[in-house]
Chains A and B, each alone.
Chain A
Amino acid sequence: MINDKVSQKIVDIIQNFARKHSLWVLAYGTGCGAIEIPPTMTSRYDAERLGVRGAATPRQADVLLITGYLTTKTLKRVIRVYEQMQDPKYVIGFGSCTINGGMYYDSYNTIKALDRYLPVDVYINGCMPRPEAVLEGFAKLQELIQAGKADGARKYKENLDWYRANQKEVIPVWRMPEYNW
């Protein structure tokens, strides 16, 4: 609708400001890290004052929070969930397990680097990361959104073949639609 660059810039600033301050999180409690989410949301650390709020379904969510290790079985569900989310969407990898496998580095049925399967915008390291670290991660994500650099979803679309090949490597029985958004 708006084509000239100046007004697009203004619209972008307003939209990014709103996106930054209204992050609806789908906390996909795959691993043990999910236990750090309740203290982050409740009265001690109160993430809602930053606009971070839980979303009920992938359709409503902006941020997919992968809390901890992902087995190859849950990876399939996570991919399904991620592709159902609406643009713009962000992924936060939570805990050491999403970075390099953590204490499951030699496990036969967990994935080691989440980045090979889904585009991760922010990593929060630690085993477990405490709520302070989680809030720090959200603050980092907010910075990236304001600067317009949190473009994991675009990367995923552009490199879909590469991500798909990696995903199919670990998911032998691929019974889902090729792309579901």
Chain B
Amino acid sequence: MEAILQYLWGAVVSFVLAFSVGITYMGLNRKVTARVQNRIGPPWYQNFLDVVKLYSKKTSIHHGTMHHLGPAFLMVSSVLSLLVIPILNGDRFFPNLTFQGDLIFLLYIMTFGPLGMALGAGQTGNPNSAIGVTRGLAQMAGFEIPWVMALVALMIQYKTTSIIDIMNVQVESGKWIMFTSPFAFLAAIMAMFGMFRYSPFDIVGAPSELASGPMSENGGKYLFTMMSSGSVFAFAKLTLYVDLFMGGANNLIELVVKTFLLYMIPVLYGVVNPRYRTEQAVRWFWGWPSFFGLLALIHASIS
């Protein structure tokens, strides 16, 4: 009984943590973008205000059941992946679900949300949504290849499909996987550009070109659900990267520092780059990132 309560408590606390940290990161992203463009920019807590405002908007849009369920699918996917990913080394304060094979489960569940959202966007009947969905799926076909290659390389090299085991390997040897299998790290980092969908890979939302794409018919509470699930998912992904490649974190401050450094890679790459076209983005992912993924596989199988 106590174990179950502890699991529930851990789930709630890690959700709140992921939500607040993710939203703050998105606010900092807007601030950084503004500073690069020589603006003052919104305060760092701007996204909290946006979230409260979106939640307090009345919503009376009806396009059908799937349209209502689309954001919920996103939220389910984000929370599930957050619960599977161990947050700290040793897992004392946030006992999340871990089991043998959770890395494979994670690969599946991370694509589940965008697919549900695609179904929801399809039902709105908005042409911008349909174009956004096709672009998003094309981009997913692009970055999933280096991402899966990197993860499979890790699985082959360390002969495990559990995230906890991979973290333990790094804790025991004292070396981060980032240095012991650098090609897998490179491929994964490059795939991360596609996952975060910041410029130059913001072809799905594409402000002023597609009118925000799949979410163009979603206002108010739908957008609230999407924003919060996006921030939870961002934190979950960054934590996964820290767990897999940077030796996990022993306490929350270390985790925040490491995830923030990782988060700045796509943000800073994005603010100085214009938007790719869809075929350019897919070609980019199937170029160097996939090559590094292949090298990682070779490296894993000979070492």
Contact = CB atoms under 8 A, between A and B. Distances in A.
Interface in B54-106: 56-61
B49 A22 contact: yes
A109 interface: no
28 contacts: A15-B52, A18-B50, A18-B56, A19-B53, A19-B56, A22-B52, A22-B53, A42-B37, A43-B37, A48-B41, A48-B42, A49-B34, A49-B42, A51-B50, A56-B212, A56-B216, A57-B219, A59-B216, A59-B217, A60-B216, A60-B219, A85-B219, A86-B57, A86-B59, A86-B61, A86-B219, A86-B220, A88-B58
Main secondary structure of the interface of A (DSSP, over half): loop
Contacts of A181: 60
Contact of B39 (A19, A49, A85): A49
Q: Pick from A42, A51, A56, A85 the residue with the most CB of B within 10 Å.
A: A56
A59 B217 CA distance: 6
A42 B50 CA distance: 20
Contacts of B61: 59, 86
Interface in A1-34: 14-15, 17-19, 21-22
A143 interface: no
A51 B37 contact: no
B174 to A, nearest CB: 45
Interface string B24-53: 000000100010011111110010011011
Given A86-B61, A87-B57, A181-B60, A60 B49 contact: no
Interface in B130-189: none
A46 interface: yes
Contact of B46 (A14, A15, A51, A58): A51
Interface size class of A (residues with CB under 8 A): 20 to 34
Given A59-B217, A60-B212, A14 B41 contact: no
Interface of B: 30, 34, 37-43, 46, 49-50, 52-53, 56-61, 128, 207-208, 211-212, 215-220, 223
A56 B215 CA distance: 10
Nearest to A48: B42
Given A56-B216, A86-B219, 13 more contacts: A19-B53, A19-B56, A22-B50, A48-B41, A49-B41, A51-B49, A58-B219, A59-B61, A59-B217, A59-B219, A59-B220, A60-B219, A86-B58
Interface of A: 14-15, 17-19, 21-22, 42-43, 46, 48-49, 51, 53-54, 56-62, 85-88, 181
